[in-house]
Structure 1
């Protein structure tokens, strides 16, 4: 498609989208193909010349795809301290920057997503202060999105609205590297400024919103430019003078000591208009400032020690770390200020001490005013959908190719290798595969996968779109350079064979078999599992073969690191689409967007939640080509990402419950899962996190890691047999206090089981050492502690079997059908699964009133967030966190008392034959269990470091509950 064709397509698309929106509102129905055809017929008459340039079928497909999208609901915790509500419809009249940005985005995103963007940016802006409000004010907040989910688009919209409403200085803190800063500048040139900030140019050409509204009198001022060296510098500072009458100024700067010091010096000496007579501090009173901190968990968090004294009072003499100190100092020089951090991984931000402050730098960056959690649109593909979660797990991971260690080691030995002969690689490592200077077979396969992806996209008419491959296997630049040479050599080999037809027969035969037997079926699996509202064509090998020479000729290899001179020149290749294999480390790890990312080969072994999640460049939007995307990574990384998906979901569910309860950010005490190898965030950033006296209140625990030694399995079965034998006669599991209509159970039920029996069972049950969250003796200790407050004294025990036909086994004198659970990953020393329980199991033996109250709360906290695997419809049965909340808190208005004395223990037998583990053949049934603990305000704890709490939690989170 030529540039003129694309413009015509975008123009018709934007107009059609608006017409359909109105038609759907009039008809009060969803958009239908008939409605699309009707509106396009009108446009064919109105825009005859444009219509002659475009493919009508492609227009219809795009409109159908866009019409099928949904966006979930955002949630906000906020504090009204010192805040005056101000944003209403009257205040928004005549806004220019938002209007043109909205129009610019119409052709790029579905109207439902545009409406959601409008709503979300209004929500955030309303939490800030009216920039025209006199006097001193300070609002600090945090926006939590999903990785690669469009946070830049969100804060661009916020910047437009902030400028419209009267914020005069807007500073965007854009990462630690020049290329990320430049990429952000380009995005803001297009979405806010309206002109290309080209250094030393006589004229700055209009781009993006500037092509929609070419009135140069409304152009904002730019203090930085889009070149790699376009950051704020001394030469720029010397020329700049600002007065309140001028248009807003935009600064896009790195989180860099020198840059921020220059900016601070300029503010003190060129902008400040008042000197505090007491402190002598120079202050800006006439210009309201908005600071947007992109990736606010990275570089901005103070990692210094002891920000408060032993009594929780701020240490006014504390010296924060450099970047944190400079950001706070910049804010501290303005009397009217707003700070908004954006991140997908808030694990570091929640450890900022809520009372940290110093005389010189002002308060720390804790989001005291608000925290907003953004829901993902239905076409977002994130960790929850790719890797599954504890509550929803795909049987297979169609996007993921999990690599055993022997498929990339010793080519690139990792820190987590289980082989004592293989040592982790260091700087200067020479990667070799089978003794040769070449890529391993698994990377060669990944490169071919990228070639197929480019070919399919070309055949689908997406040949002028960017397509990228990420190779991230080491942080050492010297090693990256060797990988670049090996990848380039393999690409030359493929290109030479297909462009010259020399010695091609064997290669083509193997690639044809790979495409037809693996890649094409994989495309079809992904469409079934993850693609909605799109019709994506398949192609035969002969079709693929016909475009391979051109595809291979177009692919470029780029080394992206601090020493290489390569660049991802997407902008320069906008018309033709860049086809690039990007090889790098830290520069590719965070923030930098890889346009059209199709294939990832990722072996880097980060050990922290936030670092690992941010490295997930493959998350995001893949409209029109999701089925050709592939991720090659280690089996261990797949497990880690599954663990992270659970940690992120637990954080969001706790957040939702607190929003429902009307809590504020300072009352938001967070607990974040720990892991045997992963840490939550860097230890330095957790300087305000203390190893907790642990509580399991409000938690669901389930065994997912088991010994594969037959002696341990038999011991656990015997312990369970003894436990059940002491419980007396059972009821049929269908004889619960309330069984929803249409539900049927297989199994047995015991009520009012004494806590001592449960404690004895847990002390006897052998958990695997790799099961760091499920430690039976510690859980037994916790129940004993809670018994001292007369909580968890009466237990409901359920032995749950499969409803479908299956093998029955006897335990404790009763029969139950065994469950089938395939292993999640191959381990020599254990059998691990993705998830144990069915979501409905947590509702066993609730009263009808409790069931309905938990359902009502589940519906109230449902966000329709695709990546959280919540389902497309509002819940029709209660979810676990809400069940535990109702049991622990009761519902006074409905006359439902709390039942904190009641715990729920769920027992299962897993069939060893269905585990797909050789060591388990012929073993006894594997006993698995789950416990659901009601929430509690009890101060009882057991000592453990499995959870880390922020200062708010250990400072008295339960105050707000009372």
Structure 2
């Protein structure tokens, strides 16, 4: 151990004790003071870099994570963990906890967070010693690439310590992901390398946790090889009984594998239900961990309901779903925990679905646990930013300056989506030849991304010599034949760059060294400053001399269903590995790209969960975020930003459900009540072919507009038709707009909505759904009278639209085009339409007072980290809607400056917003998922 490592270990121990005693977070001053104490010792006074030591300790001790939150249903559940904490010998867990610190190099805060989460989940499972049958179903919501495997490995350790005897991990769809998961469980749980029986070395080669004590024993029926999935011949060597070692299975969600496993488990069952003939294990507690639980596990067949709305018990689920359920049904004591970063499909499972043969469906009826992201996690919100939404408690977050918008992959300037190197739509999906300028070569944007990968890898090796893995992702198509051509083109370009670096360019200008230096000067230096990185860039003279050596170490690999290549990190864990991974579906979910730095991403899906799971660049990159690069299209950037906002809103909604003591069933319904959360494929929403929606206490606003002149003209005419029917406004002038207060009937509003054309992607402002809701509330005596406001700008520079509104002096409202969307595209997209003061314009003094009181009440109960320290003095949207009488709604009309959409027309784009009061009699409206998803679309297949 070096002097630096010794000093680090001593400081870490002392600071951990300080933090434990004080119970408060450590500051920079605390850390620096302790470092200076240690460096005052003569043996440490030389050879230890003070700044480097402080920086590393800061990373260990200033990382934080909020407590996990959970909603649950404790029917037929007996709390047990708190009373048995001191009784259980935590042998598996103790080894793993040391492993996390010593091998995984997690700081004390991170380790403590893993312990909190595993205790939270384990306590919501059942006591394995509890008599009688029991069955718990739960879901853990994490973040993409945030360390789910580390968390469920900890859960497995604690479950085994508690007495769970059979542990089945469902590890994705592909061999390489299953193998990767097995290796991690060998390291974190088993303590030995699980290998095939023919090697005669099963269980003898120690690894991972075994380095920190002999500990308890567990057996693995599966092994770490690429094809080491369940095999009956090997399984027959193990007995399955209550007193034996815990038995681990790491299997793919593959029908033949699951059939063999289910058959083997049923064959050894010792009990039979006399009424149904079901064979089951009576005394062996089972735990199933379903990694990526929204993939393949969900029953996507349409579920028939009887005349009472109850699911048909003779329903025939999808085969993978029924096999997973059958595994659980084969044990009288069972627990199922799904892990996913995109839980939308899981909470749309019908909560009462069950069959006579397979038992209950996988709806997480017992609990849902939300894992907050640690402060050092880089997710979609950090990379793409968050759209401001004050009502949802979402402040605007500025995107990290690491994304580069590309367009040279296709001939978009010709408005032909079928031409170019990798166009959005391929005429021949399997025989396409990627050509740039008529040649088989990569486009300039991809070449620049490769140059960046070489620079980033070089800097990373200088800055972090202990980080051995570096990866670049090229994800442009799911078709393997095209991927192979891309691989050939990338290899050709790499060889060309290597040749120029090694032998020079002669008189060629710019030289390859000039190209690298230009990127360094114009890209890396400003990006490093703008990411607020604590790490600094080395001198270019140090970097440039190492570029060739780094380039020669880079390997190009195809990672797909037919490729022989695999991400063999295990074989290179001592020497390191730098790869450019080219793939499709195998890189779309679950598989970790170690040290991912640069991504070139064109693969598109308009399903939120699918697209989020493709984002392999999320994770822990604080030490080198300034070196990361993402090359993608403006459309994909917009989608990711929208998803980031929607996901953060979903998690805030979850926190609200926790505060009101809701159950998992109610959370699912709550998600369904927000159209923006329809974020998975239609077939996964089979329990809700018809979905329910309520706008009570909400505001609906148009933020996406069709730029066709005919649509813009139609919506202006619809607006004027409405205004003519309203007569003289109650109040108003150009500066601030015109208000018709409490005098408009609902028939007039419905007439306007029938004429107004909303964009087919504006799901939250679908005029047909809005009209249905208003009509249903009219039947309850609500929303029968309305206020209408026509917004207007008094700014001198605002274009004058007076001629468009029958003599009213109206100034255009300025709303900037979403920065990710190019002007002159087929749609105009903005971040927010409503000005908060417009929504409160129709409130009386008493109503305003009530709104402010409610706003402050919401502020006081908020758990947001960045909420203002002082009580608000302005009413919020939620406060306004609480105060507004139930019989009154408000329509706000915004004449938007059309030049912002890149249009050369003299009329405004009409945006509308409707503010709905709270209601305890809100009538839910129904709509068909397929219709909505036909509007959104699914894959934009390449």
TM range (shorter): 0.7 to 0.9
State the Cα distance separating 1:204 from its structure 2 match. Answer: 3.3
8 A Cα contact 1:707 1:829, kept in partner: yes
CA–CA separation in structure 1 for the residues paired with 2:283 and 2:96: 27
8 A Cα contact 2:384 2:398, kept in partner: no
CA–CA separation in structure 1 for the residues paired with 2:461 and 2:187: 27
**Correspondence for 2:170:** 173
State the Cα distance separating 1:344 from its structure 2 match. Answer: 1.3
The total of aligned residue pairs comes to 905
State the Cα distance separating 1:209 from its structure 2 match. Answer: 2.3
1:40 and 2:38 correspond: no
1:145 and 2:145 correspond: no
1:514 and 2:519 correspond: yes
Evaluate the alpha carbon distance shift between residue 246 and residue 418 of structure 1 in structure 2; reply closer, same or farther with a 3 A threshold.
closer
State the Cα distance separating 1:627 from its structure 2 match. Answer: 1.6
1:566 and 2:565 correspond: yes
CA–CA separation in structure 2 for the residues paired with 1:774 and 1:75: 31
**Correspondence for 1:705:** 704
**Correspondence for 1:579:** 578
State the Cα distance separating 1:327 from its structure 2 match. Answer: 1.0
132-141 vs 413-422, greater mean Cα deviation: 413-422
8 A Cα contact 1:772 1:946, kept in partner: no
**Correspondence for 1:68:** 62
Evaluate the alpha carbon distance shift between residue 874 and residue 791 of structure 1 in structure 2; reply closer, same or farther with a 3 A threshold.
farther
**Correspondence for 1:95:** 90
Evaluate the alpha carbon distance shift between residue 802 and residue 620 of structure 1 in structure 2; reply closer, same or farther with a 3 A threshold.
farther
Evaluate the alpha carbon distance shift between residue 790 and residue 171 of structure 1 in structure 2; reply closer, same or farther with a 3 A threshold.
same
CA–CA separation in structure 2 for the residues paired with 1:418 and 1:801: 46
**5 Å matches for 1:683-694?**
683-692=682-691, 694=693
SS of residue in 2 equivalent to 1:580: strand
SS of residue in 2 equivalent to 1:579: strand
8 A Cα contact 2:483 2:558, kept in partner: yes
8 A Cα contact 1:904 1:932, kept in partner: yes
State the Cα distance separating 1:356 from its structure 2 match. Answer: 1.4
State the Cα distance separating 1:486 from its structure 2 match. Answer: 0.6
TM-score normalised by structure 1 residue count? 0.85
356-365 vs 19-28, greater mean Cα deviation: 19-28
1:836 and 2:833 correspond: yes
Q: Deviations over 1:68-109 (max 9, x none)?
A: 323134332211111111111652454222223223223533
State the Cα distance separating 1:18 from its structure 2 match. Answer: 4.2
8 A Cα contact 1:609 1:680, kept in partner: yes
CA–CA separation in structure 1 for the residues paired with 2:109 and 2:333: 34
CA–CA separation in structure 2 for the residues paired with 1:856 and 1:201: 67
State the Cα distance separating 1:790 from its structure 2 match. Answer: 2.2
TM-score normalised by structure 2 residue count? 0.87
CA–CA separation in structure 2 for the residues paired with 1:139 and 1:105: 28
SS of residue in 2 equivalent to 1:286: strand
CA–CA separation in structure 2 for the residues paired with 1:215 and 1:666: 44
Q: Deviations over 1:466-521 (max 9, x none)?
A: 11111111111111111111111111111111123244752322332233223432
1:341 and 2:344 correspond: no
1:931 and 2:922 correspond: no
Evaluate the alpha carbon distance shift between residue 876 and residue 413 of structure 1 in structure 2; reply closer, same or farther with a 3 A threshold.
farther
**Correspondence for 1:851:** 852
CA–CA separation in structure 2 for the residues paired with 1:185 and 1:47: 46
1:82 and 2:76 correspond: yes
CA–CA separation in structure 1 for the residues paired with 2:411 and 2:539: 31
829-838 vs 184-193, greater mean Cα deviation: 829-838
**Correspondence for 2:634:** 635
**Correspondence for 2:298:** 301
CA–CA separation in structure 1 for the residues paired with 2:543 and 2:294: 44
CA–CA separation in structure 2 for the residues paired with 1:461 and 1:411: 45
Tell me the C-alpha RMSD between the 2 structures. 3.9
1:247 and 2:245 correspond: yes
CA–CA separation in structure 2 for the residues paired with 1:842 and 1:158: 48
Evaluate the alpha carbon distance shift between residue 679 and residue 194 of structure 1 in structure 2; reply closer, same or farther with a 3 A threshold.
same
Q: Deviations over 1:259-300 (max 9, x none)?
A: 222222222233x23233333332212221111000111111
Evaluate the alpha carbon distance shift between residue 603 and residue 776 of structure 1 in structure 2; reply closer, same or farther with a 3 A threshold.
same
1:903 to 864, 889, 895: 889
**Correspondence for 1:788:** 779
Q: Show structure 1 runs of 5+ residues with no match.
A: 529-533, 734-744, 865-870, 891-896, 951-962
723-732 vs 486-495, greater mean Cα deviation: 723-732
State the Cα distance separating 1:132 from its structure 2 match. Answer: 1.0
Evaluate the alpha carbon distance shift between residue 695 and residue 520 of structure 1 in structure 2; reply closer, same or farther with a 3 A threshold.
same
Evaluate the alpha carbon distance shift between residue 431 and residue 122 of structure 1 in structure 2; reply closer, same or farther with a 3 A threshold.
same
55-64 vs 397-406, greater mean Cα deviation: 397-406
State the Cα distance separating 1:183 from its structure 2 match. Answer: 0.9
Evaluate the alpha carbon distance shift between residue 13 and residue 99 of structure 1 in structure 2; reply closer, same or farther with a 3 A threshold.
farther
State the Cα distance separating 1:879 from its structure 2 match. Answer: 12
1:774 to 753, 765, 770: 765
Evaluate the alpha carbon distance shift between residue 622 and residue 797 of structure 1 in structure 2; reply closer, same or farther with a 3 A threshold.
farther
State the Cα distance separating 1:21 from its structure 2 match. Answer: 3.3
State the Cα distance separating 1:923 from its structure 2 match. Answer: 3.7
State the Cα distance separating 1:596 from its structure 2 match. Answer: 1.1
CA–CA separation in structure 2 for the residues paired with 1:416 and 1:136: 61
**Correspondence for 2:441:** 438
SS of residue in 1 equivalent to 2:545: helix
State the Cα distance separating 1:639 from its structure 2 match. Answer: 2.7
State the Cα distance separating 1:381 from its structure 2 match. Answer: 2.3
**5 Å matches for 1:148-227?**
148-199=145-196, 200=199, 202=201, 204-212=204-212, 214-216=213-215, 218-227=216-225
Q: Deviations over 1:138-168 (max 9, x none)?
A: 0001111122222112211211221122111
**Correspondence for 1:120:** 117
**Correspondence for 2:936:** none
CA–CA separation in structure 1 for the residues paired with 2:760 and 2:43: 70
2:18 to 17, 20, 23: 23
8 A Cα contact 1:195 1:205, kept in partner: yes
CA–CA separation in structure 2 for the residues paired with 1:719 and 1:828: 24
State the Cα distance separating 1:195 from its structure 2 match. Answer: 2.5
8 A Cα contact 2:411 2:417, kept in partner: no
8 A Cα contact 2:100 2:111, kept in partner: yes
SS of residue in 2 equivalent to 1:131: coil
SS of residue in 1 equivalent to 2:913: strand
SS of residue in 2 equivalent to 1:141: strand
SS of residue in 2 equivalent to 1:339: strand
CA–CA separation in structure 1 for the residues paired with 2:172 and 2:870: 39
8 A Cα contact 1:495 1:552, kept in partner: yes
CA–CA separation in structure 2 for the residues paired with 1:859 and 1:418: 55
8 A Cα contact 2:729 2:738, kept in partner: no
CA–CA separation in structure 2 for the residues paired with 1:667 and 1:34: 46
CA–CA separation in structure 1 for the residues paired with 2:415 and 2:552: 28
2:742 to 748, 752, 763: 752
**Correspondence for 2:939:** none
Evaluate the alpha carbon distance shift between residue 495 and residue 458 of structure 1 in structure 2; reply closer, same or farther with a 3 A threshold.
same
**5 Å matches for 1:810-829?**
813=808, 818-824=813-819, 825-826=821-822, 827-829=824-826
**Correspondence for 1:400:** 403
473-482 vs 90-99, greater mean Cα deviation: 90-99
CA–CA separation in structure 1 for the residues paired with 2:472 and 2:76: 49
284-293 vs 796-805, greater mean Cα deviation: 796-805
8 A Cα contact 2:441 2:489, kept in partner: yes
SS of residue in 2 equivalent to 1:285: strand
Evaluate the alpha carbon distance shift between residue 235 and residue 822 of structure 1 in structure 2; reply closer, same or farther with a 3 A threshold.
same
8 A Cα contact 1:221 1:249, kept in partner: yes
